[in-house]
Amino acid sequence: MASMDSAVLTQILKQLETLQVSQQALQAKLDGLTNPASPPFRPTSSHGLSSPGRSPLSALPTEVPTTASPVTGASATPVDDKSGDKVVTDRERERLLYPGRVTLTTYPDQHGVKPHPLTWGASEPKERGPIIPSRLPSSIKHRNAIGAHSGSYSIYRALAIAMGTLMPTHKPDYSQTEPPVSIPPQPSWFDPGKIVSFDPWGHLTPQVFRAEMDSGLDVRPSIAVTKAHMKMSELDEAARRGDIEVDGRVVLKSAPLLNADGSKNPADPGVEINISKAAVEPVWYLPGVAERFGISESLLRRALFEDTGGMYPELITRPDIKIFLPPIGGLTVYIFGNPALIPDATVELTLRVHDECNGSDVFGSDICTCKPYLTFAIEECIRTAQLGGVGVVVYFRKEGRALGEVTKYLVYNLRKRGGDSADKYFRATELIAGVKDMRFQALMPDVLHWLGIKKIDNMISMSDMKYNAIVQSGIPILKRYDIPAHLIPMDSRVEIDAKIAAGYFTSGKPITEADLVKTVGRTWEETEH
């Protein structure tokens, strides 16, 4: 029996060695594709991509590793097209991209798997360590994070690789991409309980983890900081009314408008707002996220595994990996005034934490107050910046109270058919979604700590959930603003009154049950006329 076990073990080891050689051979082939001497190949599948130019994967060689697993589909035999160039089939490309059996790093302490050390909340980036979710051959054995960079956009990356428009081994060039404004380390970065939902070093990754990147590890930024001009028609109108002043620093006059023939249009071109902004991808430190919500880490991992369709088995099998990159949930920070003033507690700071509403924010739907409230907050941030302070708007991707736009529109249908009154507002959502709101705000204050905010002078929000989450995280709020009544669209009075009555908002307006019944939205028939 012992000799049989030994023979089996020897055979397994030989197979592993063969697979390793095949993977190394593939990597050598992929690395060599940037060589101009590579022969011209073209993929057979056009799918709208056919063009005179060559796609990056069109140069894949046709030799297939002997350990490649069988793949059904297109013919594996390369053929010549009319130009005489060899054509790489989908089957060949799949074998070359993903040779051999699927490589799993499912269990901790398995042979060859050694995650790169990472200590969340460490005071130095070298001690903290980079976030590495990559499955490229150079990084897969050193992965210390579950998931993929770019969240839901990683699916488009996969599609681009499959269709031959992107090399999986493409190495980004991050030179000239460093932030034009400084978001320096804050004491809160080094408190493992203050920031648990994204990587505070994410915008400095190419600088502070350069050695790891140069060694071949696939390390990528999860935050980008830049500068821009903001242009909104509502701000143009505010400037024309005199509500905001063109000062040449925060508010700038727009360039003259042009007619179709290129001549100048005499109409008022409006204004532009000078801003700094940061895009942030989520990076969850699972023990910290679990503690923030008052649940066990094992329960959090199991829920994430089950309700993403089992997409991330390592949530269950790799308890040693503590970092998870969710497939959705990013945010954008807009800064009005000098970003360097944000950590200065003596400087006035105005804040709006805004949750995404595509229908209102982008397309102007008047069934809710989202865009009017956002616009009002931006104007307040501008006025604060012009007085020497700083304004901050944080825009979270939490569409439809984090229930999603499909659910939101289904609720709209139910409301309009069932009588759109404030007393039925939340009941309609609960009938479809099972809960009235999934925007749990416990993780929201992380971005405020990343910026170094010490106190908030003016919070443009009526939300008690947001207020409580911020104050409980250690940041005091001195003043809160309701949305002015004249900015509330007629059809969104249902939402406002229902939220006040449900305790969402602290407001000076008392709401009775009789008020809720009387507060009704328009019907579809009224909309059509």
The secondary structure of 397-433 as a DSSP string is --TTTTT-HHHHHHHHHHHHHH--BGGGHHHHHHHHH
Helix (H) or strand (E) holding 309, with range, is none
Whole-number pLDDT of residue 76:
42
Active site residue 344: no
pLDDT of residue 180: 96
Q: Is this structure's pTM higher than 0.85?
A: no
31 has pLDDT over 90: no
- For residue 492, name the pLDDT band (cuts at 50, 70, 90): low
Q: What is the pLDDT of residue 503?
A: 59
Lowest mean pLDDT among 7-21, 30-44, 153-167, 243-257: 30-44
Quote the percentage of the chain above a pLDDT of 70.
Answer: 75
Distance between CA atoms of residues 242 and 386, nearest Å: 14
Average pLDDT (172-185) is: 96
pLDDT tens by residue, 382-426: 999 999 999 999 999 999 888 899 998 888 888 778 776 666 777
pLDDT of 26 higher than 70: no
β-pairing, 331-336 with 390-396? antiparallel
Confidence of residue 87 (pLDDT cuts 50, 70, 90): low
Q: Which of 9-23, 197-211, 246-260, 406-420 has the lowest mean pLDDT?
A: 9-23
User: Can you read off the two tokens belonging to residue 88?
Assistant: 């790489």
Q: How confident is the model at residue 428 (pLDDT cuts 50, 70, 90)?
A: confident
In this predicted structure, the answer to whether residue 217 has a pLDDT above a threshold of 80 is: yes
Among the listed residues 157, 397, 439, 493, the single catalytic one is 439
**Terminal CA-CA length for the chain:** 86
- Listed in sequence order, the DSSP H helices in 105-232 are 125-128, 154-163, 205-208, 210-214
- The one catalytic residue among 355, 437, 482, 497: 437
Between vectors from CA 366 to CA 351 and to CA 498, what angle results, nearest 5°?
Answer: 75
Q: Do 22 and 28 form a contact (C-beta atoms < 8 A)?
A: no
Compute the distance between CA of residue 334 and CA of residue 78 in angstroms, rounded to an integer.
Answer: 52
Looking at residue 48, what is its pLDDT?
37
The predicted pLDDT at position 35 comes to 40
Sorted by sequence, the CB contacts under 8 Å of residue 158 that are 6+ apart come out as none
Sheet order of strands, 79-80 included:
41-43, 86-88, 79-80
pLDDT of 120 higher than 90: yes
The C-alpha atoms of residue 394 and residue 228 are separated, in whole angstroms, by 16
Instruction: Say what the pLDDT of residue 56 is.
Output: 45
Question: Average of pLDDT values for 359-382?
Answer: 92
Tokens at residue 136, please? 């490229």
pLDDT at 230: 97
- pLDDT bucket at 44, cuts 50 / 70 / 90: very low
Give the pLDDT score at 29. 53
**Contact of 446 with 472, CB cutoff 8 Å:** no
Lowest mean pLDDT among 43-47, 110-114, 469-473: 43-47
Least confident piece of the model among 142-156, 458-472, 495-509: 495-509
Query: Helical H runs in 295-424?
Result: 297-306, 314-317, 358-361, 370-386, 405-418
Cβ-Cβ contacts under 8 Å for 341 (sequence gap 6 or more)? 347, 389, 390
Residues contacting 400, CB < 8 A, separation 6+: 357, 407, 408
Q: What distance in Å separates the CA atoms of residue 197 and residue 204, rounded to the nearest whole number? A: 17
Mean pLDDT of the chain: 82
Q: How far apart are CA 498 and CA 518, in angstroms?
A: 11
Q: Is 157 a catalytic residue?
A: no
Residue 73 predicted with pLDDT over 80: no
pLDDT at 233 over 90: yes
Confirm if 162 and 246 have CB atoms less than 8 A apart.
Answer: no
Whole-angstrom Cα distance, residue 14 to residue 411?
59
Please check the confidence at residue 310 and state whether its pLDDT lies above 90.
Answer: yes
